[in-house]
Amino acid sequence: MNMAVNDIKGAQSQLVDMVKAMPSGTSAQKSGSVQDLIQDSINKEQAKKSKEHLKEELVELSKKLNDEMKRVGTSINFAYNDDIPGLTVTVKEYGGDKVIREIPSKEAIELMKRMREVVGIIFNQQG
């Protein structure tokens, strides 16, 4: 990952040097928009990779927790849920399939999904 960041920073540096080398009075040089766009792009890419890395860690953690719960002999299951993005816990009746409790509940997950939709609609209308 560090190598990719270094490659991105190297490309950014080259582009910034190119913009600085443009004849004075060029619109891209005046506004600095090229540099801003490059930085925004880098920030978005790093945030995306960070989220992907976190998801991978949570999925791996849920697998390890499930293995440990099987070893101990409990009916607790951990899973990653893309809708909330995070871990969920399901407690089942020992030796059966009856669900005793889900954390967060299905209702809470549905509420979180709808709240994200509403926030997205609000921001799209304002933008």
Token output for 29: 């040089």
Predicted TM-score (pTM) of this structure: 0.52
Which of the 8 DSSP states describes residue 95?
T
Q: What is the pLDDT of residues 41-85, one digit of tens each?
A: 788 888 888 888 888 888 998 888 888 887 777 788 889 888 888
Token output for 101: 């409790």
- Amino acid of residue 115: M
